[in-house]
Structure 1
Amino acid sequence: MAVTFRLTTTTTCRWAISPLRETTSAVRLLTHPDRQGYHQPWLRAVAPALDELDLTPLLQVMRFTYNPDFLMPPPDGPGPAIADELALVRRTPVARVRAELSQCLHTQHGRRLPPPAQALVDHPLRARALLADTLEACWERLIAPWWPRLRDVLAGDIAYRTGVLADSGLAAVLTDLHPSVAWDDPVLTVEVGADGHREVGEAGLVLMPSTFEWPHVGVMMDEPWLPTIDYPARGIAALWAPRSDPPAALARLLGHTRAVLLAALTEPTSTTGLARRCGLPNSTVSEHLTVLRDAGLVATHRVGRWLRHTRTPLGTQLTGGS
């Protein structure tokens, strides 16, 4: 089963980071043990919050192949605020809420729904408020405390892929998103648990990295939403890993702090993200990055509003190629 997107010569691709989308992906992860491998430290950290949250309404509609689109609308811009995304959910027309909840629940349960599921379909206004409130609670308890770390991984992925786009073109980006994504100009095929087709015109295709989507890929193809592909972000293997000491020889050559920073630059990272990762003040990181950049070991590029630091080939050699 696969979804296909036909692109045109005027089609553009843009990237976005969605706090709401990460929240819904995290909720889905809770019901899929195959997605939890990289996230055990996070699961242990949020266990007390999970004991206090009532996720029943969300889990009724978020554990299946098709999830209601109105709960995770693609963002209009590159980095919306969670409050704006939740406001959009709460403004969803009632008819759409009823239709999408009915499609989701009847697909899973058949014609006869269990009473809790039937109540969501019968009272869409109440269901919309309940689901939005539950998503907001999930954001506050499960995602917000770790959002700077998550956002830095997502931004690093975008920095890497926009670099690939500039160097090698769109085909190189699309063929490297995920093993389930295939590009045969002008058709992009995504193997998922559904069939469908969408013509992608000037409005463009939204590419959205996710820290919680691994090992799967997700799509949104129905009108009126922009066609969207969620894919696993680069760098999630080290997302929750504690900082490790750099090689002793590298520390003797550069000094301990600079060696720590160079070894930690496994993905494009902001100054703030690198400081958080290494447990150092921003001012200290900025000072040492200047020295590493002057030595040709680190390169700095602007991606949108952010500066991203990466190791140069020489810097990667010195760290042992990791």
Structure 2
Amino acid sequence: MEIVKNRFLKGVTVVLSALLVISLMGCGQKTDAKTTEAKTVSENVKRMPDEMTKVNLGLPSNKNMSYLPFYVALKKGNFQKHNLNVNLSVVQGGVLALRGLQSGDFQIISSLPESVITGASEGANVKLIGTLDIQSMYSIYVAKDIHDPKELKGKVAASMVPGNGTDIQLQYWLKKHGLEPNKDIRIINAGDNAERLQTLQQGQSAVTILSPPTDLKADELGYKRFLMRDELKTYNHNMIAASGDQIKNKPEVIYAFMAAEAEAVTFIKDKANRDEVIKIVMEQMEMKNADAEKSLDFVLPALADHGKINIEGIKWAIDMVKEAGVLKKEINLDKLLDERFYAK
């Protein structure tokens, strides 16, 4: 009787063991199925529209060398290749570009990061999806009788809108050289590049901040230049932002836009294409050949491969917006960035 009992228990044990093995195999197969499914979904993400789609691109300034990838993408048909009909619209400054993005006038904009940071912190449904460049495009110019930044004490600085990225970078530079804005040096709102340079020419300011191509005119006039990128090592200058609705409802448009922009950057950086790129610069910026070459050489080192954002530069911008007293609410990177759309 004992033998029968032992055999019975042994049999039960074997059956249970077998069932356990089958169960574990089933679990393993189930996990693999989920992994495969997730991988398939990832690989099958739609990366361009099925048909030609209009995209209104808002730019906060006209004839800006940082926008060279956009100009090239239009000229070489990169956008069209990805089923995008891109229309460029110029507004006065990043704040207006951001408003156009929120109202639906634009699907994508380029802007300095500071205005997007401020807007997103206040609830704007926008995200930074990439960047055109990962170095500052700005240079500081001082009056001809200024030989040392310390001599600017008691003078006037020509800036743009208070709290704007242009203004923040100018104030950053002044502070690095021991000058407290609106205490040691008075800051005035002088408008865009051309207007700021004019204040320097007319003696209304002793220092200002300029970007290409206006910097070439300042060089011709003999003003001393200080490169912002020499002191500000991490910065995303002209960034790319999209509305939350566009990202949610038509992500394939964002993928296609970023792919076309990345292809244009690759074309620009290829030395074999230099002459063709120079011609595009001359046409778009209305420059003579020598100036086009100088501007291209200035921009080239800063162009971001794949539109990839410099995260340290974003952190710097957030800190500076806080320091300027413009950022009223905290904002984290997850709320500000969406890095899914980089070109492969």
TM-score, normalised with respect to structure 2:
0.23
